Amino acid sequence: MVNAVLVQGSQSEYDDQPGVSYHFPKRYLRRMEECVGDWVTFFSPVKDTGVSKEARGAFFAVAQIERIIADAKLADHFYAVYVPNTYAGFANPVPRQMLGRFLEPAMSGKDGKANVGVALQAVRHIPFSAFQEIAELGWKEIEIELPRYDEIDSKRKGVAEDQTPFEYDVERKIVAELVNRKVRDVRFRGSVLMAYNKTCAVTGWSFVNGGGRAEVEGAHIKPVAEKGPDTIDNGLALSGTVHWMFDRGLISISANDEILISRKVNDLDGVKRIINPTGKLIRPKRPEHQPHPAFIEWHRTRFGFAA
């Protein structure tokens, strides 16, 4: 098994399925097969005009590869299917170069420039140390209290001095954080709130207490239980009550951003009063953070709303 960088553009001609699979040609099959069972990070092309300037030429997500399957419709093409509920988007894009150093070692070329031969490859193997650094930087700005991992606790019983964890223990900790539901939930909420500037996408409310904690919550459009990914484009910043209504299908969103109200609502006037004056969804600023149409459509269909 080996870690890798997968190049994925917002306007790609490939049949990538959001949060589910990565589509690629046969020339990368051997490399992708070596990644099965391990983690990969996704990279946005430098010239990708479908995302913000900050997101171009940057790492933006991680996932664990479960298996490789052939494309039944297109010859010599394949899908790398992710392990369910492992795909997660970063709170902020991680630039490929920091302090004059490429995070991807093989990318370093002459005179500090990118190695063009490497840059043109859509699938690139990387050492675990590089993957670890990228993954940690992806959520660096979110302050979270991670659960305790006893297996890597340096102050073990019967040992007087601090211990330096084995590399295997460090890797196990990173992977444990990536799959831990509590950690993923906190990272998802923090990422969504940053994207929406702590503002409810339905009401426009932006309540923050004295300690700086926002009232608004991070809501999955397509729930994790339905294999929805922990990504900003599958999230909405919603006030607590609105989140409750959205999860139960009492409100949804139309294809043109109108807030839809279910016929099952018993206080129609009350719901209308809390919706922002435009009657439409308040979107985040960055293009890569926009709610994905596929997830919005899923929610409407799930709860019986017309398009």
Confidence class for position 169, pLDDT limits 50, 70, 90: low
Domain boundaries, the chain: 3-138, 150-179, 182-302
- Is the model more confident about 150 or about 30? 30
Output the pLDDT for position 151. 39
* pLDDT of 160 strictly over 80: no
* pLDDT of 161 strictly over 50: no
* pLDDT of 164 strictly over 90: no
CA distances from 18 to 9, 83, 132, 170, 231 (A): 12, 13, 23, 29, 9
Convert the pLDDT of each residue in 18-44 to its tens digit.
899 999 999 999 999 999 999 999 999
Output the pLDDT for position 154. 41
Output the pLDDT for position 34. 98
| Mean pLDDT confidence for 106-112 | 86
- For domain 3-138, give its CATH number from 3.40.109.10, 3.10.590.10, 3.90.1310.10, 3.40.50.970: 3.10.590.10
Output the pLDDT for position 307. 60
Query: DSSP per residue over 227-293, as a string?
Result: T--BSGGGEEEE-HHHHHHHHTTSEEE-TTSBEEE-TT-S-HHHHHHHS-TT-B----SSGGGSPPH
* pLDDT of 201 strictly over 70: yes
CA distances from 49 to 153, 197, 233, 287 (A): 44, 23, 17, 10
With residue 97 as reference, give the H or E element that holds it. strand 97-98
| Mean pLDDT confidence for 150-172 | 45
Question: Mean pLDDT of all residues in the chain?
Answer: 89
Q: How many CB atoms lie within 10 A of CB 245?
A: 20
C-beta separation of 59 from 18 below 8 A: no
Confidence class for position 173, pLDDT limits 50, 70, 90: confident
Which tokens go with 253?
């969103």
Which tokens go with 251?
């409100």
| Mean pLDDT confidence for 207-227 | 90
State the pTM of this model.
0.84
C-beta separation of 270 from 245 below 8 A: no
Output the pLDDT for position 162. 43
* Single-letter code of the amino acid located at 292: H
Burial class, 4, CB count within 10 angstroms (exposed 0-12 / middle 13-18 / buried 19+): buried
Rounded to 5°, the CA angle 172-36-33 comes to: 145
| Mean pLDDT confidence for 172-176 | 78
Report the candidate in 81, 106, 137, 140 with the shortest Cα–Cα distance to residue 5.
Answer: 106
Report the candidate in 104, 48, 51 with the shortest Cα–Cα distance to residue 232.
Answer: 51
* pLDDT of 84 strictly over 70: yes
Output the pLDDT for position 158. 43
From the DSSP assignment, how many helices (H) and strands (E) are in the chain? Answer: 8, 13
